[in-house]
Chain A
Amino acid sequence: MPATPVWLAAAESLLNRGIDRSIRAAALAGHLDRTSLELRIEGLVPVRIAITSGHLVLARGGGADAGAVITGSLLALVDLFARREGGAAPRAAERVQISGDAEIAARYRDLLELARPDWEEELSRLIGDLPARRISLAAQAAFSWARGFARTAGANAAEYLQEESRALVSKPEVEEFLAKVDELRETADRVEARLARLERRLEGPAREGRA
């Protein structure tokens, strides 16, 4: 059996601490005892997740006896296991493939969601509560600033391309253009119908004259 990478061991410790913190996660882990799930991530080694006596165990996968197998790209799997507000369906659901016992797969998904690491808590284990809190606040501020900056930069770029360089058209212009196209199409349809009716009228007396 090849060595289990150290990063898997670190992830396992993080998740087990997450399970210990949550009563619901611990209960779910109890229900999943002696079951396993295999993650087949495109381009990476398969990872096997198992529960043994309430402990989550991560190892290199590849066995044929996993209760369920989830296959997909790394991004799709991250999206699948990411926490969602209000229990909304994962966006990546259609990009992953689940085989085997779907209930086991769903329960592992719930377990990983509940056991998600508390990064501030993990940092505080290394450097103490106060520095961890400060770093966490700074990271939140930096993330918020980066998100605001990305939003503003996007809006500015769109405005330049739409209003100054005129390389792109604005949304109202596009909507107005499409509305006019619809209007034109409807007018053309009406004209076509009138022409057809006129043709039928013209053809009617001609047929009667021939008779």
Chain B
Amino acid sequence: MKISDRSADFGFEKVLWAQKAGRVRAVFSSVAGKYDLMNDLMSFGVHRLWKHFTLSLTGLKPGQRALDVAGGTGDLAIGLARQVGKSGQVVLSDINPEMLAAGRDRLLDAGFAGNVECVLADAERLPCAGDSFDCVTIGFGLRNVTDKGAALASMYRVLKPGGQLLVLEFSKPVAPGLKPLYDAYSFGVLPRLGEWVAKDAASYRYLAESIRMHPDQEALLAMLAEAGFGQTRYHNLTGGIVAVHRGYKI
């Protein structure tokens, strides 16, 4: 099949492979201004705990280098910058200029300058040297990538041997009885919340749909192994609503 004929999931909708990145970019351009507020409202602040847990797994030391892919408004990048200190370096990358600008402003406002760089980049083709980062993180970004395999391969390439990839992403609830409540919340409450606060119900409907279309824990684990990562594992958080997948470049 020619690449121009291939389709990709955009929520529950099928779009042409080449169109997905543009559609996703449009979603995040629309919500960038209210992104952090919406995250707090939608998750009741629990997204901070998920990110804190992810950061506790990096194993970064002062002086090391980290890359936050699809880092958006920079929640993970700020934590990474604290871990590597002034002698280290953090690269915050995102495909969306509005999100990246918001992240860059937040990092500057938090006092991080000199050891943080912002790069407008596609996760599938990271413009970074191979074997150059001790840790790569991607938080709530992988499901928006058109070719997830290519993105994982690209992240594998830029990791140093022994470096770790951390993927924080929505997943499939595993706690008994959680799924119906979660579905009702995702499709009933989230779009309305998006409409009231961000004036954009469609983008938050996409959020709920894209979560359902994202590979579950085991499928993503297999994708990590396929991309070449070793010692792959995952941790379920909040009953599996979110999972952190990890793998090393061995």
Contact = CB atoms under 8 A, between A and B. Distances in A.
A9 B231 contact: no
Main secondary structure of the interface of A (DSSP, over half): mixed
Nearest to B54: A9
B243 A52 contact: no
A203 to B, nearest CB: 87
A22 to B, nearest CB: 13
Nearest to B174: A3
Interface string B206-250: 000000000001100100000000111111110010011000101
A55 interface: yes
Given A10-B56, A13-B57, A4 B162 contact: no
A50 B248 CA distance: 13
A123 to B, nearest CB: 14
A53 B61 contact: no
Interface string B56-84: 11010100000000000000000000000
Contacts of B97: none
Interface in A1-15: 1, 3-6, 9-10, 12-13
B interface residue count range (under 10 / 10 to 19 / 20 to 34 / 35 or more):
20 to 34
A55 B164 contact: yes
B85 interface: no
Nearest to B232: A1
Nearest to A6: B235
Contacts of B231: 50, 52, 57, 59
Contacts of B61: 20
B161 interface: yes
Contacts of B236: 3, 6
B248 A6 contact: no
Nearest to B240: A3
B217 A52 contact: no
B53 interface: yes
Interface centre among A12, A16, A53, by most chain B C-beta atoms within 10 angstroms, is A53
B95 to A, nearest CB: 29
A33 B220 CA distance: 26
A3 B235 contact: yes
Contact of A5 (B163, B174, B235): B235
Given A6-B235, A6-B237, A1 B162 contact: no
B162 A53 contact: yes
A16 B248 CA distance: 15
Interface of A: 1, 3-6, 9-10, 12-13, 16, 20, 50, 52-55, 57, 59
30 contacts: A1-B218, A1-B221, A1-B232, A3-B174, A3-B234, A3-B235, A3-B240, A3-B243, A4-B233, A4-B234, A6-B53, A6-B235, A6-B236, A9-B56, A9-B57, A9-B235, A9-B244, A12-B57, A16-B59, A20-B61, A52-B231, A52-B248, A53-B161, A53-B162, A55-B162, A55-B164, A57-B231, A57-B233, A57-B248, A59-B231
Given A1-B218, A1-B232, A53-B163, 19 more contacts: A3-B174, A3-B217, A3-B234, A3-B243, A6-B53, A6-B235, A9-B56, A12-B57, A13-B56, A13-B57, A13-B59, A20-B61, A52-B230, A52-B231, A53-B161, A53-B248, A53-B250, A57-B233, A57-B248
